[in-house]
Structure 1
């Protein structure tokens, strides 16, 4: 074995795993023109696309670059690089010989997010794309879910363990269902109508099917929600203040865009005895079940305990609309919902919520 082959052991391990599925098929491979470390815009070294025929024709993409493809560089002996590579299955039309460029751009965008933020994906995660996953397409798929690729188990390479995470296009209401329940449980319940978790831009929401809707409803009632942390752009807290003849209530403020999501999660978290953490770049607020409603600060973290009655009242009143209200069960706490302004990459307001 030559020195060059030894240095590419991580890459070789991925290709060997794909060969187990597709034999001698030569994939369509797309390499970055300029390496990322030399100033290129594409973090991934390459993306391969295989033509799969079962359960129906689709492209099966796999990335090269989240893991360590050559020599070991990270200090973690257990995992190679970020510990995963992404896969993506996309429905293939008759006579389609080249995989759509948008799919590879989407995978590179996922890499840009990981490389710039340091946040990694794992099975059960989800991501709101805030628009069609294929820009300009007439599709209801506006978010992504991540789960283990059903045909690619994790591998141990000389540089550490690598898992294969499949990216799945989902609709906005499916995203809400996953947040309210459990991503992997939702996908497993959908296997009969979403085989191999293939993304099809033309499909409708799975929640239009009574069987899926019932599975989600029963799952939420049985299991509650897996979403313990919610990232919130607009989040503020003002502690209560003593006045001459009265006391000003504490104020919890959030954006209208997140209000409906918080309301949706309250039942599946607090009524199941679990806390829900709202976090923003400047603040962390922990909502937790309590016998009596009250709030305080603990080491820079705001903690708000809510009784069951307060949870149910807050769930019913929290809407994606500018408002301000007190809870009848907790008059020392005021909730303020502010308008959310959606901006494009240039900072121009393109939509307003609330």
Structure 2
């Protein structure tokens, strides 16, 4: 084996997996001219698109660049780079010869997010796109879920383990169902309607299927929610203050966009005796079920203990509407909801929640 082949061992390992599925098929490959490390705008070194025929024609994309494609650079001996590559399956017209450019851009956008934030994806994760995943399309798919690619098991490369995470386009109500239940359980329940988790921009919500509706309802009742951490971009805490005739309540502030989901998660987590962590860049708030309501505070950290009565009351009253929500069962706490302003990639406000 030549030195050049040794340096590309990570890339070769991905190719071997894809060749196992597609044999001698030559994929459409889209490389990056200027590497990200040298000032290029695209973090991925390349994306390949294969023509899959089963269960019906679709493009099967795979990325090159989340893992270490050449020599080992990271200090983690077990995983290669971020430990995964993304795949994406998109419905294809039988006579379609080139994959749509928006899908390639979407995969690069996912890479920009990971490379800039350091946050990685894993099976069971989800991401709200705050609009159609294809900006030019009139599509109900406004979010993404991540699960194991059904045909690509994880591989061990000379640089460490690499998992193949498939990105799946989902609707807003499907995102809510996954958040309040479980992403992989939802996808498993929907696999007959969504074989191989192929994304179709024109499809309707899977929750219109009675069998899937029932599976979600029963799953939430049985399991609660697997969402232990929920990102809230507008999250603030104001401790209670002493006054002449008593103490003012503490105030937990959040944005209207997340308020309704927080209300659902309170029941799906706390009433199953599971903690819920609300996370922002500056603050972490842990909510837990307890015999009595209580508060403890630290540096950029708050723990709120809620009685069962307080959980049920807050879950029932909290709405995605601007205002203050006072609890008869927890007089020392007020939840304040502010408007959420949805912005496009240029920073312009395109929608307001609350």
TM-score range, shorter chain: over 0.9
Structure 1, residues 156-208: CA drift from partner, whole Å, max 9, x if none? 01111100000000000000000000000000011111000000011100000
- For the aligned residue pairs, the C-alpha RMSD in angstroms reads 0.9
Structure 1, residues 118-143: CA drift from partner, whole Å, max 9, x if none? 11100000000010000120110000
Report the equivalent of 2:65. Answer: 65
Q: Note the C-alpha offset of 1:148.
A: 0.4
Q: Note the C-alpha offset of 1:346.
A: 3.4
Report the equivalent of 1:296. Answer: 296
Instruction: Check 1:299–1:348 CA distance in 2 against 1; reply closer, same or farther (3 A cut).
Output: closer
Report the equivalent of 1:53. Answer: 53
Q: Note the C-alpha offset of 1:350.
A: 2.1
Report the equivalent of 2:41. Answer: 41
Contact conserved, 2:50 with 2:61, CA < 8 A, in 1? yes
Q: Note the C-alpha offset of 1:299.
A: 4.6
Structure 1, residues 1-27: CA drift from partner, whole Å, max 9, x if none? 111111111111100010100011111
Contact conserved, 2:318 with 2:325, CA < 8 A, in 1? no
TM-score, with length taken from structure 1 = 0.98
Counterpart CA distance in 2 for 1:256 and 1:218 is 28
Secondary structure of the structure 1 residue equivalent to 2:98: coil
Secondary structure of the structure 1 residue equivalent to 2:271: helix
Q: Counterparts of 1:1-354 in structure 2 under 5 Å? A: 1-354=1-354
Counterpart CA distance in 1 for 2:17 and 2:296 is 52
Secondary structure of the structure 1 residue equivalent to 2:302: strand
Secondary structure of the structure 2 residue equivalent to 1:162: strand
Q: Note the C-alpha offset of 1:146.
A: 0.4
Q: Note the C-alpha offset of 1:325.
A: 2.4
Farther-moved stretch of structure 1 (343-352 vs 208-217): 343-352
Q: Note the C-alpha offset of 1:62.
A: 0.4
Contact conserved, 2:282 with 2:300, CA < 8 A, in 1? no
TM-score, with length taken from structure 2 = 0.98
Counterpart CA distance in 1 for 2:88 and 2:329 is 48
Counterpart CA distance in 2 for 1:342 and 1:193 is 31
Secondary structure of the structure 1 residue equivalent to 2:97: coil
Structure 1, residues 288-334: CA drift from partner, whole Å, max 9, x if none? 10111121214541111111111111011110001112101011111
Secondary structure of the structure 2 residue equivalent to 1:61: strand
Counterpart CA distance in 2 for 1:327 and 1:179 is 25
Counterpart CA distance in 2 for 1:116 and 1:299 is 25
* Unmatched 5+ stretches in structure 2: none
Counterpart CA distance in 2 for 1:76 and 1:159 is 9
Counterpart CA distance in 1 for 2:105 and 2:347 is 22
Q: Note the C-alpha offset of 1:341.
A: 1.6
Counterpart CA distance in 2 for 1:243 and 1:90 is 60
Secondary structure of the structure 2 residue equivalent to 1:272: coil
Farther-moved stretch of structure 1 (291-300 vs 163-172): 291-300
Q: Note the C-alpha offset of 1:237.
A: 1.2
* Unmatched 5+ stretches in structure 1: none
